[in-house]
């Protein structure tokens, strides 16, 4: 359980993958650049998976360091 008044502002990091993959697609879809033989949109989405995994890992690490994880 969390103590009253304990803030979890770091959870806002979980908005980054959403903004990367969903909100920016209309802007990125207009770029016609090809990275090697791979379309830029595919490179963008692959980078989004890596950024999303990093954000989730960072939130987990912060929660673990703060002792916010439930013991099973």
At 5 the pLDDT is 56
Taking only the tens place, the pLDDT of each residue in 34-64 is 778 888 888 888 888 999 999 999 998 988 8
At 3 the pLDDT is 56
Taking only the tens place, the pLDDT of each residue in 15-37 is 988 888 787 788 887 877 777 88
Per the document, the length of the chain is 72
At 17 the pLDDT is 87
Report which of residues 29 and 10 the model is more confident about. 10
At 72 the pLDDT is 46
Per-domain residue ranges for the chain?
A: 22-66
């Amino acid at each position: 359980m969390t103590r009253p008044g304990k803030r979890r502002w770091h959870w806002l990091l979980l908005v980054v993958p959403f903004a990367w993959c969903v909100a920016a697609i209309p802007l990125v879809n207009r770029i016609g650049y090809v990275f090697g033989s791979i379309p830029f949109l595919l490179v963008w989405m692959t980078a989004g998976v890596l950024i999303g995994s990093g954000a989730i890992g960072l939130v987990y690490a912060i929660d673990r360091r703060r002792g916010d994880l439930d013991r099973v």
